[in-house]
Homo-oligomer: A and B are copies of this chain.
Amino acid sequence: MSVTAAKGFTAAGIAAGIKENGNPDLALVVNNGPRRAAAGVFTSNRVKAAPVLWSEQVLRGGEVSAVVLNSGGANACTGPQGFQDTHATAEKVAAVLNQGGPEDHSAGEIAVASTGLIGLLLPMDKVLAGVEKAAGELSAHGGEKAAIAIKTTDSVHKTAVAEGEGWTVGGMAKGAGMLAPGLATMLVVLTTDADLESATLDKALRDATRQTFDRVDSDGCMSTNDTVLLLASGASEITPRYEEFADAVRTVCDDLARQLIGDAEGASKDIRIEVINAATEDDAVEVGRSIARNNLLKCAIHGEDPNWGRVLSAIGTTRAAFEPDALNVAINGIWVCRGGSVGEDRELVDMRYREVKITADLSAGSESAVIWANDLTADYVHENSAYSS
In the complex, are the beta carbons of B312 and A47 less than 8 A apart? Answer: yes
Which of B77, B296, B308 contacts A221 (CB under 8 A)? B296
Q: Taking the nearest CB of chain B, how far is it from the CB of A18, in angstroms?
A: 17
Tally of contact residues, A, Cβ under 8 A: 68
Return the contact of A376 from the options B310, B381, B389 (Cβ within 8 A): B381
Cβ-defined contact, B219 with A296, below 8 A: yes
Measured between C-beta atoms, what is the minimum distance from A247 to chain B in Å? Answer: 31
A309 CB contacts on chain B under 8 angstroms: 74, 76-77, 117-119, 224
Inter-chain contacts of A177 with B (CB < 8 A): 296
- Chain-B contact segment, one of A144-152, A160-168, A334-342: A334-342
* Nearest B-chain residue to A46, judged by Cβ: B316
Q: Are A388 and B307 in contact (CB under 8 A)?
A: yes
Interface contact B221-A313, CB-CB below 8 Å: yes
A155 at the interface (CB under 8 A from B): no
Chain B contacts for A79, CB-based, 8 A: 325, 339-342
Chain B contacts of A341 at CB under 8 A? Answer: 77-79, 82, 119
Cα(A223)–Cα(B76), bound, Å: 36
* B47 engages A313 (CB within 8 Å): yes
Write the nearest CB–CB distance from A343 to chain B, whole angstroms.
9
- Cα separation A47 to B325 with both chains bound (whole Å): 9
A324 — nearest CB in chain B belongs to which residue?
B47
- What chain B residues lie within 8 Å of A376 (beta carbons)? 295, 381
The answer to whether A219 touches B340, judged by C-beta atoms less than 8 angstroms apart, is: no
User: How far in angstroms is the closest Cβ of chain B from A225?
Assistant: 10
Q: With A and B bound together, what is the CA distance between A378 and B388 in angstroms?
A: 18
Is A281 positioned at the interface, with any CB of B under 8 Å from its CB?
Answer: no
| B47 pairs with A316, CB closer than 8 A | yes
A381 touches B381 (CB 8 A): yes
Of residues 116 through 146 on chain A, the ones whose CB sits less than 8 Å from some CB of chain B are 117-121
Return the contact of A342 from the options B78, B295, B316, B317 (Cβ within 8 A).
Answer: B78
Q: Give complex CA distance A294, B384 in Å.
A: 12
Instruction: Tell me which residues across on chain B come within 8 A of A120, comparing CB atoms.
Output: 342
The answer to whether the Cβ of A293 comes within 8 Å of any Cβ in the partner chain is yes
User: Does the CB pair B118–A302 fall under 8 Å?
Assistant: no
Within the complex, the shortest CB–CB distance from A105 to chain B, in Å, comes to 30
- Residue numbers in B under 8 Å from A314 (CB-CB): 221
A178 lies within 8 A of chain B by Cβ:
yes
- With beta carbons under 8 angstroms apart, the residue of B48, B299, B385 that contacts A385 is B299
What's the nearest-Cβ distance from chain B to residue A367, in Å? 19
CA distance A121 to B325 in the complex (A): 16
Q: Given that A45-B316, A299-B384, A299-B385 are known contacts, is A310 also in contact with B118, CB under 8 Å in the complex?
A: yes
A353 part of interface (Cβ distance < 8 Å): no
B-side contacts of A299, CB under 8 Å = 380-381, 383-385, 387
In the complex, 9 of the A-B residue pairs with CB atoms within 8 angstroms, ordered by the A residue number, are A45-B313, A77-B342, A119-B309, A119-B337, A219-B295, A299-B380, A299-B384, A300-B385, A304-B389
Using a CB–CB distance below 8 Å, which chain A residues touch chain B? 44-48, 74, 76-79, 82, 117-121, 177-178, 182, 219-224, 293-296, 299-300, 302-305, 307-310, 312-318, 322, 324-325, 327, 337, 339-342, 376-378, 380-389
